[in-house]
Chain A
Amino acid sequence: MSSARYPELTPRRKPIKRAINQIVLFVLGRAVQSLSRYEPRIRHEVATWPENFTLMLVVRPKGGSLALRRTTEADLRYLGSHFDPAQADVVIYMKDIESAFAMFTGQLGIDMGYARHCMCASGDLSNTVSVVRVLNTAVAYLFPAFIARRLMKRLPPTPFWQKQARRLRTYLLGVPFGI
């Protein structure tokens, strides 16, 4: 038998999806940082987190990450994509690039993502539900309502023009400049 007939089968690479995931992680990190300064629901949630509480989202394997830290002013600071998971209080791992892509592109909500075992987490999970509410609130600003409605059980109730103004501010100032 010639073993040359049976080549190694190496995993396919998905550089475009990986790149999109990394871009969304950056946008999400900056957007949450910005919204945490003026969005009342997010501010209310973050105020309940312990000071310096650090949250990380990591896409496995090697699919990018984001880290957010609760500051003394009770808002969130985006710490970039090269944070050490060992230093975070909670690390939420997306188990694979496809699940992360589905969640980051508005095809799958956080609750259903967890229900479908797309995620696992290490650390103190006592703030998990609050973290999910913060992320869902941010998602409601980042995606149009007809997409966001499919991603969560109930859209956070925000008056139309207030929502558009905050959305504009998030996209024009929050994401590019982090303010």
Chain B
Amino acid sequence: MLPDYYEFHFPVKLLSGHTALNNLPGELSQAKVHRPLLITDPGVMRAGLIEIVRNAFAETEITFGALYDQVPPESSTHVVNELAELWRERGCDSILAIGGGSVIDTAKGVNILVSLGGKDVRAYRGAETLPGPLRPLFVAPTTAGTGSEATNSAVIADPESGVKMLFVSEFLLPRVAVLDTRLTLTLPPRLTAATGMDALTHAMEACLSIQKNPVSDAYAWQAINLIRLHLKQAVHTPADKTARLALANASTLAGAAFSNSMVGCVHSMGHAAGAVGHIPHGVAMNIFLPFGLAFNLPSRANVLAELLLPLAGPEIYASTPPISRAQRTITAVHELKDELHALCGLPRTLQEAGLTREQLPAIAKLAINDGSAMMNPLELGFEEAMQLAEQAFA
């Protein structure tokens, strides 16, 4: 069913392949830039991924104005402001971000400051109010889950107030995103599983959201399909290049989907559980996903029934009576969780993730104030959030 009105925006050029980074220098030349600031984190440095980047840029006229390799696991306004100064000091003309969600969000924040001026990125917080295009931003994700390379938003923590600030603008989208198999090959199985479930949650929630639209549905469906076909294989055999590339694509497709239709209560609960229990985002998504789907079943049974096809495959879809398909979709997610738990020990419940029952009210309280709750089809009140937390606990 078509919504009365919708918008869809995804102008990112994708370079996808086992050696896709080799094509990146040409993209910089086409953008007429030759001195990017390279932003990454210590994990990427330890994994030796920067050598792949240096090799890709061999024999070109492109010099990195500076290599910043200290982005923390949670992007912060201090780092963004410092990096903007570094960008100016070194006469850079663009940005290349190599890393996970934190690195890419940091790069988006730096791009705001170096393009629009100013010394404090906090001045630009908000939704859809950035004035005008930014500098060319190139990103190469090293995890397959956050989808930040395909989203129009950045979350950057303000250490002074303790608030995670939201920046939303179509101008935050990178010019080019590189999906290179070599960048995700070293991800350990459990992290692969968690980030894969993050991507699956992005895709499934994008299909349920009140902002859903036919174009984001198309992206989300393909993402779910790729995850069904390749997630378990990548967890089981981390060196499988085909599975790695498929998951990187799934993550980007899911990112494009939820960037244009938003996510819902699974993310609200997951953000809250992450803040209270300090569990990784992907783990939280894995825990809450089937319960969030079940919560929305009364208003989204048709959508959930349709999602059985990409999630479980044509045989299961065809052999399931139409009336049972929505519930079967939820069961399929439970089954996937069990299989991933058996493969790599990915926690299935809050208890397995190390949380206590006493932490549940705090999770519920935070969850109902999370922005994702607004786009959920059903109202997430405190009682409902407590119920979800209880279901996910054990």
Contacts and interface: CB of A to CB of B under 8 A. Distances in A.
Interface in A30-76: 48
Contacts of A125: 125-127, 165-166, 371
B268 to A, nearest CB: 9
A153 B209 CA distance: 13
A121 B129 contact: yes
A96 to B, nearest CB: 12
A129 B379 CA distance: 11
A115 B370 contact: no
A76 B205 CA distance: 35
Interface string A120-162: 1111111111101000000000000000000011100000000
Given A121-B126, A122-B126, A124-B163, A116 B375 contact: no
Interface in B351-394: 368-371, 373-375, 377-379, 381
A127 B161 CA distance: 13
B295 to A, nearest CB: 12
Contacts of B164: 126
Contacts of A126: 163-166, 369
B118 to A, nearest CB: 14
Contact of A129 (B129, B210, B373, B377): B373
Interface residues of B, number: 29
B4 interface: yes
Contact of B165 (A114, A124, A153): A124
A49 to B, nearest CB: 11
Identify whether the interface residues of B are mostly helix, strand, loop, or mixed. loop
A153 B379 contact: yes
A145 to B, nearest CB: 16
A150 to B, nearest CB: 13
Interface in B20-69: none
Interface string B139-174: 000000000000000000000000111100000000
B370 to A, nearest CB: 7
A121 B368 CA distance: 20
A125 B168 CA distance: 11
A63 B164 CA distance: 32
A152 B377 CA distance: 10
A112 B210 contact: yes
Contacts of B368: 129
A93 B126 CA distance: 11
A117 interface: yes
Contacts of A124: 125, 163, 165
A126 B129 CA distance: 16
Nearest to B4: A116
Identify whether the interface residues of A are mostly helix, strand, loop, or mixed. mixed
Contacts of A120: 126-129
A52 to B, nearest CB: 15
B211 interface: yes
A93 B369 contact: no
A123 B125 contact: yes
Interface string A17-33: 00000000000000000
Contacts of B262: 115
Contacts of B209: 115
A93 B129 contact: yes
Nearest to A136: B379
Contacts of B381: 154
Interface string B259-277: 0001000000000000000
Most buried by B among A117, A128, A153: A153
Interface in A88-103: 93
Most buried by A among B127, B165, B166, B377: B127
A123 B126 contact: yes
A161 B379 CA distance: 24
B374 A117 contact: no
Contacts of A48: 369
A111 B127 contact: no
B165 A115 contact: no
Contacts of A128: 371, 374
A156 B379 CA distance: 10
Given A124-B165, A126-B166, A153-B378, 19 more contacts: A93-B129, A112-B210, A116-B5, A116-B6, A116-B211, A119-B127, A120-B126, A120-B127, A120-B129, A121-B127, A121-B129, A122-B129, A123-B126, A125-B126, A125-B371, A126-B165, A128-B371, A129-B373, A130-B369
19 contacts: A48-B369, A93-B129, A114-B375, A115-B210, A115-B262, A116-B4, A119-B127, A120-B126, A121-B127, A123-B125, A123-B126, A125-B127, A126-B163, A126-B164, A128-B374, A129-B368, A129-B370, A130-B369, A153-B377
Interface of B: 3-7, 125-129, 163-166, 209-211, 262, 368-371, 373-375, 377-379, 381
